[in-house]
Amino acid sequence: MRLKDKVCLITGGAAGIGKATAIRFAQEGAKVILCDLVEEAGVQTAQEIGGVFYQVNVADRQQVQTWVDDVFQKFGRIDVLVNNAGVLRDGLFVRVKEGQLVKQMSESDWDLVIDVNLKGTFNCSQAVSPYMINQGGGVILNATSVVGLDGNFGQTNYVATKAGVIGMTKVWARELGRYNIRVNAVAPGVILTPFHDKVTTAEQLELWQENTPLKKHGHPMHIAAAVKFLIENDFITGETIDINGGLWMR
């Protein structure tokens, strides 16, 4: 139980991959602190695992800083940050029919996804880093996606954020390594979560399963296990691990 008594922060921890990670950490004896915008589900998850919940919008720098400062004041240290919070607003970059512009991705959809997925990761990581430096080390784990490496139809905004997170992971690994802070990322493929249920059809899921070498979908616990591995292995930094059942290989 290498996570025993470690103070672990998880954004977007109310459901899906975030909740699975929180459960895994709690099983390993960690002190788990969740944040999410969805208060009811967040409180329920925290109660289930004996953790602590904060309602935080990761896109709001002041909310993030207040959250991180309060956690440090109460627990005296911050060992792990998992940047899991994310949103989708899919749409074509531009749609043209018979030479006429029909529709394009809106500025509001672009801004929202950038603010939560990219800026939110930046905000949280920047808030915890000084505490980790002063205590002699820590781990930051970022959630990206396979589409951040390969792109995906209709996801200009989402892909931009996930590619950006991969880039930031490498930069922070280089900059923070001297302080014994490791920074890695996981790139999930098709993972069965309530998040995916909202944006995919049964036909899409069946097609993905058929095209996956392992002939099955991933589950949140697959990601949680990889997160735990990256946190415990103290000679891995700057890496992004694909977890997709072989659907994407490079």
Which positions are catalytic?
Answer: 158
SS3 179: helix
Query: 83: exposed, middle or buried (C-beta count within 10 Å: 0-12, 13-18, 19+)?
Result: buried
* DSSP H/E element including 103: strand 100-104
Q: DSSP character for 215?
A: S
CA distance 145 to 165: 9
In three-state secondary structure terms, 97 is strand
Q: Are 27 and 48 a contacting pair, CB within 8 Å?
A: no
Pairing of strands 100-104, 94-97: antiparallel
Sequence letter at residue 77: R
Name the token pair of 236. 């891995």
* Residue of 83, 10, 15 whose CA lies nearest to 44: 15
Question: How far apart, in Å, are the Cα atoms of 179 and each of 29, 56, 75, 136?
Answer: 25, 27, 21, 6
Whole-angstrom distance, CA of residue 13 vs CA of residue 241: 20
